[in-house]
């Protein structure tokens, strides 16, 4: 009987694992998971907040093996015989495949937009759960539900959610730590997420906001609950404990670094920065596990005894219930091939910028300009190939100073996320609040008229104008801040372009002032040419 099920089954009915319908289903399922994992890999590799993502796919497989391997033989009494269940027209199932073209283009153009990432990962998860329902009904669906959904803990949050949450955590942590320091008799002043101590300054950037502890703590608490077989109600409590501990551990970490700064100085704080962070992180994981052990049922969670053939179990699934997804598979493969073939042609033809077009004006040292170093953590997160930041002291500026920076990325994974480092995202982390709409202006540099965006900020009784420009291969990037639905306000065209293959260059000028009178445009048009030269090929 088993042999007839494996080898039999017509293509039209979809019966049998070896039928073309079910081979297509398995190929599509495997392709979706390969796609989902591959688009998350760059975040797991480059973003410390998601470095735990590498362990999630193996845990998904392990949890599936553990759950299904524990089931007795009678659990697998799914019949492949009889009338197929609900069927769907093949052409109707194939239509979603057409959406792959704009989705994959948008993902590549905007370096894996968070919304698109979630769309792809959710599609993979939902198709997997639908497959479980087709093959084993509600019983099998219920058994695989948690392991499959667990994969979503490794998917990066959309920037529209992550960035405001990070900024809230940064300022919140800074305020609480400042209060604790004052209670301990340590003088401290607070500017947004920056703590000013007598021996130096401690800035709370995105990596120190606590979001990494929250995200990884959530994953670990869910994994511990599943590993130890904790009952559902106690799993909720474990997750609540984990999130609370994540916040407390990050507060303890930041307080400890401030304490070291105050008593031992800046060098000691930076020397111990990573060690303190690692102790806080791994202590959090250990505490979550210990709390989980206290909730573990007597005797622990059962483990598969190794009996029973997985091949026999797979044979007994309801393969005749699987709809015909062959047209969907064909359209999906075709769309994927068209998108990446198009990008291959663009890559062959591309002539990317490999050296910066902006440089500091020669002799800047004698013109009241002081070059300063980027903070090492900030520079590592920027990932730029070249850059400098300077402060110009001038009586022309309302408060006697103007700060500027220049960054350049050669084509690389980091150049794809260069536009994530924008004033409207980065400035709130230092306590600045954006005011008004983003404006634009033209500035002449070495005979070229260059377009800059103008942002306005407030912090207490201070105000500031930030002039910010961005170019790819010397061409201005079109930005549209009127679109509130995207966290990356670059204008989108739904066809492949060379944008992600090009060098990216940023220039910014920051002028603080007090009162209601903004610095005139003429001041900006005077200061920028004094700071930067611009030499780009015609």
End-of-domain residue from the set 271, 295, 319: 295
What are the tens digits of pLDDT across the range 389-421?
999 999 999 999 999 999 999 988 788 888 888
In a domain, 125, yes or no: yes
In a domain, 515, yes or no: yes
Q: Taking Cα atoms as reference points, which of 490, 534, 504 lies closest to residue 407?
A: 504
What are the tens digits of pLDDT across the range 242-274?
999 999 988 888 888 888 888 888 778 878 887
The reply to whether 318 and 285 lie within a common domain is: no
Mean predicted lDDT score pLDDT of the chain: 85
Contact indicator for 254, 173 with CB cutoff of 8 Å:
yes
The H or E element that residue 112 is part of is none
Q: Is the pLDDT of residue 5 over 70?
A: no
In a domain, 300, yes or no: no
Contacts 24+ apart (CB under 8 A), 98-102: 98/331, 98/335, 100/331, 100/332, 100/335, 100/336, 100/339, 101/335, 101/338, 101/339, 102/494
The reply to whether 210 and 68 lie within a common domain is: no
What are the tens digits of pLDDT across the range 430-458?
778 889 889 999 999 988 999 999 999 99
Domain count, the chain: 3
- Quickly tell me which residue has 């009952």 as its tokens: 231
In a domain, 2, yes or no: no
Q: Taking Cα atoms as reference points, which of 327, 257, 316, 252 lies closest to residue 287?
A: 252
Quote the CA–CA distance of 500 and 262 in Å, as a whole number: 44
In a domain, 190, yes or no: yes
**CATH code at position 475:** 3.40.1000
Q: Is the pLDDT of residue 83 over 60?
A: no
In a domain, 139, yes or no: yes
The residue-averaged pLDDT of 324-345 equals 94
The reply to whether 152 and 163 lie within a common domain is: no
Q: Is the pLDDT of residue 235 over 70?
A: yes
Quote the CA–CA distance of 162 and 168 in Å, as a whole number: 10
In a domain, 138, yes or no: yes
Q: Is the pLDDT of residue 115 over 60?
A: yes
pLDDT value at residue 193? 74
The reply to whether 163 and 276 lie within a common domain is: yes
The residue-averaged pLDDT of 361-379 equals 81
SS3 assignment, position 399: coil
The reply to whether 366 and 321 lie within a common domain is: no
The reply to whether 379 and 410 lie within a common domain is: yes
The reply to whether 231 and 291 lie within a common domain is: yes
The reply to whether 400 and 522 lie within a common domain is: yes
pLDDT value at residue 79? 62
The reply to whether 208 and 317 lie within a common domain is: no
Q: Which domain holds residue 414?
A: 358-534
The reply to whether 210 and 342 lie within a common domain is: no
In a domain, 302, yes or no: no
What are the tens digits of pLDDT across the range 138-196?
999 999 999 999 999 999 988 778 878 887 888 888 889 888 888 988 888 877 777 88
Of 71-85, 382-396, 507-521, the least confident: 71-85
The reply to whether 419 and 527 lie within a common domain is: yes
Point out which residues pair with 469 in neighbouring strands.
507
The reply to whether 378 and 519 lie within a common domain is: yes
If 0-12 CB within 10 Å is exposed, 13-18 middle and 19+ buried, where does residue 363 land? exposed
């Amino acid at each position: 009987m088993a042999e007839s099920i494996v080898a039999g089954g017509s293509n039209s009915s979809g019966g049998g694992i070896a039928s073309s319908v079910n081979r297509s289903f398995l190929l599509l399922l495997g392709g979706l998971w390969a796609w989902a994992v591959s688009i998350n890999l760059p975040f797991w590799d480059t973003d410390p907040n998601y470095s735990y993502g590498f362990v999630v796919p193996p845990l998904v497989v392990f949890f599936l093996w553990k759950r299904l391997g524990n089931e007795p033989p009678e659990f697998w009494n799914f019949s492949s015989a009889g009338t197929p269940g609900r069927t769907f027209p093949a052409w109707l199932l194939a239509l979603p495949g057409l959406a792959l073209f704009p989705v994959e283009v948008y993902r590549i153009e905007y370096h894996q937009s968070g919304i698109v990432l979630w769309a792809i990962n959710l599609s993979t998860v939902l198709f997997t759960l639908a497959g479980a329902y087709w093959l084993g009904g509600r019983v099998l669906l219920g058994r695989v539900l948690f392991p499959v959904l667990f994969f979503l803990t490794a998917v990066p949050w959309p920037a529209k959610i992550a960035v405001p949450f990070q900024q809230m955590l940064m300022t919140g942590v800074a305020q609480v730590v400042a209060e604790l320091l004052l209670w301990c008799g340590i003088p401290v002043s607070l500017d947004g997420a920056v703590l000013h101590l007598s021996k130096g300054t401690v800035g709370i950037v995105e990596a120190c906001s606590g979001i990494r502890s929250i995200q990884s703590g959530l994953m670990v608490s869910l994994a511990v609950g599943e590993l130890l077989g904790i009952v559902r109600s106690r799993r909720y409590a474990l997750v609540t404990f984990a999130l609370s501990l994540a916040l407390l551990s990050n507060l303890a970490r930041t307080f400890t670094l401030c304490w070291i700064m105050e008593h031992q100085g800046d060098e000691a704080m930076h020397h111990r920065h990573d060690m303190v962070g690692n102790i806080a992180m791994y202590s959090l994981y250990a505490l979550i596990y210990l709390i989980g052990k206290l909730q573990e049922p007597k005797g622990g969670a059962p483990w598969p005894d190794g009996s029973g053939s997985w091949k026999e179990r797979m044979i007994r699934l309801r393969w005749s219930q699987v709809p015909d997804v062959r047209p969907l598979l064909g359209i999906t493969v075709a769309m994927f091939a068209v998108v990446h073939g198009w990008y291959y042609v663009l890559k062959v033809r591309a002539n990317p910028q490999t050296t910066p077009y902006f440089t500091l004006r020669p002799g800047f040292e004698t013109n009241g300009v002081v070059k300063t170093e980027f903070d090492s953590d900030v520079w590592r997160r920027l990932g730029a190939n070249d850059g400098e930041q300077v402060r110009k002291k001038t009586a022309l500026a309302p408060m006697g100073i103007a700060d500027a920076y220049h960054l350049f990325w050669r084509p690389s994974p980091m150049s794809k996320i260069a536009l994530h480092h924008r004033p409207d995202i980065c400035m709130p982390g230092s306590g600045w609040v954006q005011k008004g709409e983003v404006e634009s202006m033209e500035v002449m540099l070495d005979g070229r008229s260059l377009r800059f965006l103008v942002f306005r900020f407030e912090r207490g009784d201070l105000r500031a104008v930030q002039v910010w420009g961005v170019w790819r291969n010397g061409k201005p990037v079109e930005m549209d801040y009127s679109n509130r639905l995207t966290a990356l306000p670059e204008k989108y065209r739904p066809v492949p372009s060379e944008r992600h293959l090009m060098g990216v260059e940023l220039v910014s000028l920051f002028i603080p002032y007090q009162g209601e009178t903004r610095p005139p445009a003429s001041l900006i048009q005077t200061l920028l040419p004094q700071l930067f030269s611009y030499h780009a090929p015609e």
